[in-house]
Chains A and B, each alone.
Chain A
Amino acid sequence: MNKQKAIFNYALRLGDNSLVLGHRLAELCSKGPILEEDLALTNMALDHIGRAQAFLGYAAQVEGKNKTADDLAYKRAERSFYNNLIMELPDKDFAATIARQLLVSSFEYFLYTELMKSKDETIAAISAKAVKEVRYHLAHSSDWTCRLGEGTAVSHEKMQNALNDLWMFTGELFEMNDADAILIKEGIAIDLNSIKQQWLEHVNGVILEATLTLPSSDFMQTGSRKGIHTEYLGHILSEMQYLQRAYPTAQW
């Protein structure tokens, strides 16, 4: 793998995470528990889709095959998607949405804060914009984790169950492959091990404040770095890519 291929792979990974999570959040439009929260989740969906557009656009540019961000989003098959599995999981209930937002936003906060220093100017610039959005996502999900954790016996139980269910998907966020090795040397990517402890401490802090318990299971799911996904991604893509596949070259 050369440097160009590594950047392509890395930008795809960041873009796919944003795209798939953005799609999941967008699915909640009109299904929020109250109107205000509905709009909050939809705003976050748009933040993610905007970021996906930036990263996938950059990936297309680096690849140099005359493709666009839309080509990468709508014309790739499941096995060529590199988003982490946690992004594609369905939202069982509001607690599941909040738990995923907490775990992912904390990760994104530390990731993009570090990537602002990337020697790749485009990645650094997208990251600088992302950090502002993520700070809000993190405040939003942390506050809700506390409200649900300290709310009623039912909300506490649902929040704890949601964290327990998602925990085995967190290890994958920190996995690295050849692309990381090449880009870390170039000062473009970061060593994900370097933010793992901060992430754990932050998540643990919120969980404790919410009177919840940090899940203790060590078993971790894996696959996305190789394009191996849960059964849910295919369903997302069949819906998201339907129009481009049914009417190729259709435009707004």
Chain B
Amino acid sequence: MATDTQLDLWEVFIQPKSGNRYAHAGSIHASDKKMAIQNARDIYTRRGEGTSIWVVPSNCIIASDPNDEDMLFEPSNDKVYRHPTFYEMPEGAKNI
């Protein structure tokens, strides 16, 4: 990979509106916290996508190792009983 010469990398999370969860929007380059928020605002909220932003230095994110995919995620594939689809819904319970 070519050396990245464009400042530090940050991950951007946007909250579409108050109460919603923050979702990963993408990444940006910035030299400091303030610039990271400003750049995130300028790139990911130009069309009214959000009301709040989180930025996190990319190197602070601990990612799972793709080589561990089998170990971490495979075992859950055959455990369908973990899905809450085997319960009968009581009539009248509307908001489940």
A residues within 8 Å of B by Cβ?
34-37, 39-40, 43, 136, 139-140, 143, 147
Contact = CB atoms under 8 A, between A and B. Distances in A.
Secondary structure call for the A interface:
helix
Contact of B42 (A39, A143, A147): A39
A37 B28 CA distance: 11
A143 B32 CA distance: 10
B38 A40 contact: yes
Contacts of B39: 36-37, 39-40
A143 B38 contact: yes
Contacts of A36: 28-30, 39, 42-43
B34 interface: yes
Contacts of B7: 34
Chain B interface: which size bin? 10 to 19
Interface in B18-40: 28-32, 34-35, 38-39
Contacts of A39: 39, 42-43, 46
Contact of A34 (B29, B34, B41): B29
Contacts, number: 32
B43 A147 contact: no
Interface string B43-73: 1001000000000000000000000000000
B6 interface: yes
B6 A139 contact: no
A35 B6 CA distance: 9
B38 A140 contact: yes
20 contacts: A34-B6, A34-B7, A34-B29, A36-B30, A36-B39, A36-B42, A36-B43, A37-B39, A39-B39, A39-B42, A39-B43, A39-B46, A40-B39, A43-B46, A136-B38, A136-B41, A139-B38, A140-B38, A143-B34, A147-B32
Nearest to B34: A143
A40 B34 contact: no
Contacts of B30: 36
A149 B32 CA distance: 15
A136 B38 CA distance: 9
Nearest to B39: A36
Given A36-B43, A39-B42, A139-B38, 6 more contacts: A34-B29, A36-B39, A36-B42, A39-B46, A40-B42, A136-B41
Nearest to A142: B34
Nearest to B28: A36
A136 B34 CA distance: 12
A17 to B, nearest CB: 22
Given A34-B6, A39-B42, A43-B46, A143 B29 contact: no
Contacts of B46: 39, 43
A136 B46 CA distance: 13
A147 B38 CA distance: 14
